[in-house]
Structure 1
Amino acid sequence: MTKPVTVNMIILAAQRPGKVDPLAIAHEVSHKCLIPIAGKPLIVHVLETASRHPAVGAVRISIEPSAFAEMHPLVDYLNDAGGGIECTASADNLADSVLEAMTQLSDGPTIITTADNALLTSDAIDAMIAILTGDADVALAMAPKSAVLKTHPDGQRRFYKFSDDHYSNCNLYGLSGHEALSAAEIFRGGGQFAKKAGRIIESFGLINLLLLRSGWISLPSAMARISKRIGLTITPVVLPDGRNAIDVDNERSYRIVSGLLGQTAD
């Protein structure tokens, strides 16, 4: 009899040091993850999807300790329904926040996402688990441009060009276990990694950077080249549901996600 798979989950919910997100200010809350959307705080949509998934065990919310008191009522409510959710102190950057959260979790497959990923689907978690329980050290979820635009014509404006298609990042990542933790370095300095050529050259190499930016290489081939460079097997997870690539970044995307959540509830 096959033993059921259990995965950990980390939800990144902290703000940039010294800054309050403009959406949080507009909605008069301390953190973007607490803005109300479709009748619930933003992060609750992510937490509900995670806690209801049969394969998700421990869940860690990475956020500033100063926000723990605001998070506890939400966490207690969801844990009463059987969730294994706890808050953990975030660090000054995403890489160290992931590293800190991982130290509190048992070794094994871990999925990482963000608190604004309100449209995260159970099928996306299934797809990540399938890859992480195979040969991959790192899983990276992407959605094809056509799938994103089918979901909403203005759902995402930034796509990465590869020779096989255009893709959007889904803010959904996976590590096979503690041995793959070095991959967390791609988060260092925040979410602007793809915009900072110096860090890409240092990590991936100049030729890989040129190939990535030219669009002359397919997504699987690009990940294979980067895997060889960093010594970890990075596998792209192409999600056919474009909702997974639409998160809450600003007032425009807030309205889009709010409408899509309303459709899901119908």
Structure 2
Amino acid sequence: MNPVAALILAGSRPGGPDPVAVAEGVSHKALARIGDRPLLARVGAALRDAGIARIAVAASDPQVVDLGTSLGMEVLPPAAGPSASVALAFAELGAPLLVTTADHGLLEAGWVTDFLADIPAGTDVAVLLAQRPLVEEAMPGSRRTWLRFADGDWSGCNLFHLATPQTARGIALWERVEADRKRPWRLAARLGPAMLASYALGRLGLADAVTRLGRRHGLAAAVVAARDGLAAVDVDKPADLADARRIVAARGDDRAGVVQGNKLLL
């Protein structure tokens, strides 16, 4: 079920300067390096290794645009926010479309192919999420925002799949989920008083909530559980970049650490 195209989001969120870009002395965090490659190049290489030939990047920073072009990516204009950028790109690239972010610096081709293989048949829109025990096993001491539901605590993995043309409606759904990611009770509230009560009583699972919310939009929506907890690690802060560098060094048997199974030992 390989998508015909992938989109890498590399826009800039409103507000002050990005802390990673400032710490690294670059104009955009997509240019920050892990090992010998910028984040954008690492993400693009993982997508190509997963068999995706057409890759686009939504970016406006001139240096990111130049890098994307040099990497053989199509450059598309970003919009005001991630979901709006996806909507703009979806109109250009069509379905099926895989969406990820430039700060997903540890992205591996295997995570992409596993995600696509694990999406239930007939799904219009799918999102990859990792359960807390898997993330904490892979990254002991990791601090992040958890979506707390009856089927566990979940963390986003910055991988989304829009399978069919009608999933344009799913982009609006994603925008709502994105807005509620730190207030999961609001996600439940969108399903009505009964579902909000179910969430309050600890009976509503995230997978069920996403399925029900998708159905309200006329879509088959699914949560896919990540197989590797490191899939939930992105680069939002300088400390995240330092962690990612240690992980990459450890994968190469660097002195910075050793990977044992999926767990980083420092």
TM-score range, shorter chain: 0.7 to 0.9
Deviations 1:179-216 (A, max 9, x none): 10111124549954324689747854454455456542
2: CA distance, partners of 1:257 / 1:31: 17
Question: Alignment partner for residue 19 of structure 2, among 2, 17, 22?
Answer: 22
1:150–1:242: 8 Å Cα contact kept in structure 2? yes
Residue equivalent to 1:49: 46
Task: Please say if residues 94 and 187 of structure 1, whose CA atoms lie closer than 8 Å, have aligned partners that are also in contact.
Answer: no
Correspondence for 1:10: 7
Matched, 1:264 2:264: no
Cα distance change of structure 1 residues 147 and 121 upon mapping to structure 2, 3 Å threshold: same
Work out the CA distance in 2 between the residues paired with 1:205 and 1:265. 50
Look up the match of 1:75: 68
User: How large is the RMSD of aligned CA atoms in angstroms?
Assistant: 2.7
Structure 1 runs not aligned, ≥5 long = 80-84
1:176 aligns with 2:163: yes
- SS of structure 1 residue aligned to 2:48: helix
Residues 242 and 197 (structure 1), Cα distance of their counterparts in 2 relative to 1, 3 Å cut:
closer
Change (3 A) 1:171 1:211: farther
Q: Which moved more, 1:85-94 or 1:117-126?
A: 117-126
Of all paired residues, the percent bearing the same amino acid is 27
> Judging changes above 3 Å, is the alpha-carbon distance between structure 1 residues 190 and 26 closer, same or farther for their aligned structure 2 residues?
farther
Going from structure 1 to structure 2, the CA distance change for 1:181 and 1:210 (only over 3 Å counts) comes to: farther
* Structure 2 Cα separation of the partners of residues 195 and 158 of structure 1: 7
Q: TM-score, normalised by structure 2?
A: 0.83
Distance 1:99 1:246, change over 3 A: same
**Pair 1:159–1:198, CA change in 2 (3 A):** closer
* Distance (Å, rounded) in 2 between the aligned partners of 1:229 and 1:263: 45
Counterpart position of 1:82? none
* Distance in 1 between residues matched to 2:129 and 2:208, nearest whole Å: 14
Tell me, in whole angstroms, the C-alpha distance in 2 between the residues paired with 1:190 and 1:220. 13
Displacement, 1:17? Answer: 3.6
Asked if the contact 1:204/1:230 (under 8 Å) is kept, the reply is no
Looking at structure 2, the residues matched to 226 and 189 of structure 1 have their Cα atoms a distance apart, in angstroms, of 10
Q: Which runs of 5+ in 2 are unaligned?
A: 254-266
Matched, 1:251 2:247: no
